[in-house]
Amino acid sequence: MEIVELKKLIESPINNLLKNIGTEFKQLAKNRLLEYQTNEYKRNLFAKTFIHRSEPIKLDEFYVPLHIEKHGFIGSERKRISTENISELLKNLNYITIIGSAGSGKSTLMKYFFIDSIKRKFKIPIKVELRYLNEKASFVKYIFEDIFLFHQLGFTNEIIDRILSSGDFIFLFDGYDEINYSKKESITNEIDQFVNKYASNKYVITSRPYTNLDTLPLFHNYSICDLENDEISIFIQKQIPSQEKELIEKIEKEALNLKDSSYRNFLKNPLLLSMFILTYQSYSAIPQKSCDFYKQLFDTLYSTHDSLSKLSFQREKQSKLSKEQFEDILRLFSFISYFEEKFYFQTDYIESKLNVIKENRKIVFDNQKLIEDLKIAIGILNKEGTDYTFPHRSLQEYFAANYIKNLSEVNKKDVLTKIKLNIEKSITYMIDNANFIVLLKELDYISISKYILIPRLIKCIENLKKIDREDFQKQYEVLCQIDLSSLLVPNEFMNISLFSFEEMQYIRTAMRRTYLGLLEFDNYEYRMSIQDIQQISSIIINNGEKWIDEVNQLVLDKEKGDFDIINLV
């Protein structure tokens, strides 16, 4: 789109905004708003993707518009709603949250909303990445000073207040889940107050699940839908050069004809589908566990620069480190940064952690060369402005979990005990770190059972036994303190189960009624029925102790087996 044409699109909502603003700054404000919107349009029009890592490409060349549905609805109540037209989507709504799992496309959707809003002359879009608030004093101060005053969209707080009261804006708040836990309550309150004060504007907030975002007053809650078969086909076709028809057909056939339901679900997520496309030429089958898939993904990233091209090649690594050394460094860096709640990294931060790693591992390398290798030769770090980040947080979670898995038993116990204490301090810890916990369970289920699941289950059983069977409120509170989904995870190490198949089905159904597994005790309003609470409590009391004994015996048998094998040498 030509600049002149773009400015004509942007001018319409700006002129509407400035109609009721005094002439004392009208022309200057118009020029600044035009410049700001033009720059932001260009910034959101292009993006790097997991597949297209070398250079940004236009949004419409790779993006497939998503569908959303009302959050928490199941069965016949579910209705897919298109996000292709922002004006139509928000026709009768001023405030919506969009909740999506890791890799579901939330941030790209917000880029699309920004571009679509301008193309349709629908409001003046302001996109805010909420992660930046972690370094700021307050939400309101950030909006006023870092956006409006810094870009000279308004010249005093009074003028900004008048502009915001016009109702001519759409605010796109991206990444509520990326706000640090320590700041989440205060920032949430500020967002609520801001929305109440400037209620005539439109607001969209995105987040991962289980952040309590859905409790914000005024907001209608929606979830991102899985990709359907036709969308999977279109997505694949858009990611691969059109001349690679044979490759497109092979990937489509593989993706759409999978018999295993867990694999089909795997490919309904845009990020995971992108990963599958990228790794397809090296690994044409999807592994059963997520951790194995991330391993395959790193192998592919390390070995080829662009596996979708017939001219793909392995780039020279400037740091001269081996593949094993890269993996070791990534494990250490991910572990440190993940537990420091750092998901975007300034160069100084990366360098300081690399210096710690060099000292710890006695590896010699040049920091800048290593960073360049991670960014260019391997493509496992992206640069966004002045920050670096993993292509997706799940990769950081994988390497952090892998680091824990490889620790000595003493150190592993220490780390997992700390994680258990964090879980006990706040139920949101398990929710905020759900994917990380899943990866830990896949990598080392026995250790997770020993140091987290069993101690928590023992405490739960003890508490349930003390409670009167008619006291559903207290039973519910106890159930909120355990992660039922952890106890439902099938795994290759254990042929024993806490629940029978019928009990498993019952609990899964009850969990779906509680918004996908979040057992939340909120003002004594049960999200599980009294029958569910009583039934699940009985199952855990009746089966729990036997399961714990069997798991403990399994651990002892494994340790004895290892001891016997060592003695054979």
Render pLDDT for 501-530 as a digit per residue (tens, 0 to 9). 566 566 656 554 443 333 343 433 345 567
Q: What is the mean pLDDT of the chain?
A: 82
With a cut of 60, say whether residue 73 has pLDDT above it. Answer: no
Quote the tokens at residue 518.
């979040």
Render pLDDT for 179-224 as a digit per residue (tens, 0 to 9). 888 888 899 999 999 999 999 999 999 998 777 787 888 999 999 9
54 and 278 in contact (C-beta within 8 Å)?
A: no
With a cut of 80, say whether residue 491 has pLDDT above it. Answer: no
Mean pLDDT of 389-417: 94
195 and 165 in contact (C-beta within 8 Å)?
A: no
Render pLDDT for 241-283 as a digit per residue (tens, 0 to 9). 888 888 899 888 888 877 655 566 778 889 888 888 888 877 7
307 and 282 in contact (C-beta within 8 Å)?
A: yes
Question: Closest Cα to residue 223, out of 231, 235, 211, 234?
Answer: 211
Predicted confidence band of residue 552 (pLDDT cuts 50, 70, 90):
confident
SS (H, E, C) 76-138: HHCCCEECCCHHHHCCCCCEEEEECCCCCCHHHHHHHHHHHHHHCCCCEEEEEEHHHHHHCCC
Stretch (H or E) spanning 183:
helix 181-197
With a cut of 50, say whether residue 238 has pLDDT above it. Answer: yes
Q: Given this model, what pLDDT does residue 518 score?
A: 38
Predicted confidence band of residue 312 (pLDDT cuts 50, 70, 90):
very low
Q: Given this model, what pLDDT does residue 526 score?
A: 41
Mean pLDDT of 390-409: 93
Q: Given this model, what pLDDT does residue 165 score?
A: 92
Q: Given this model, what pLDDT does residue 408 score?
A: 94
46 and 56 in contact (C-beta within 8 Å)?
A: yes
Pick 502 or 372 by higher pLDDT: 372
Percent of residues, the chain, with pLDDT higher than 70: 82
Q: Given this model, what pLDDT does residue 267 score?
A: 83
Predicted confidence band of residue 369 (pLDDT cuts 50, 70, 90):
very high
Q: Given this model, what pLDDT does residue 247 score?
A: 87
Residue 376 is given by DSSP the state I
Helices (H) and strands (E) in the chain, counts: 26, 11
C-alpha to C-alpha distance for 383 and 387, rounded to whole angstroms: 6
With a cut of 90, say whether residue 293 has pLDDT above it. Answer: no
Q: Given this model, what pLDDT does residue 483 score?
A: 57
Q: Given this model, what pLDDT does residue 480 score?
A: 66
Question: Closest Cα to residue 418, out of 428, 408, 429?
Answer: 429
Render pLDDT for 78-129 as a digit per residue (tens, 0 to 9). 789 999 999 999 999 999 999 998 789 999 999 999 999 999 999 999 999 9
With a cut of 50, say whether residue 488 has pLDDT above it. Answer: no
Pick 553 or 315 by higher pLDDT: 553
Q: Given this model, what pLDDT does residue 50 score?
A: 80
Q: Given this model, what pLDDT does residue 276 score?
A: 86
With a cut of 70, say whether residue 427 has pLDDT above it. Answer: no
Q: Given this model, what pLDDT does residue 393 score?
A: 85
Pick 272 or 3 by higher pLDDT: 272
Residue 55, SS3 per DSSP: coil
Percent of residues, the chain, with pLDDT higher than 90: 37
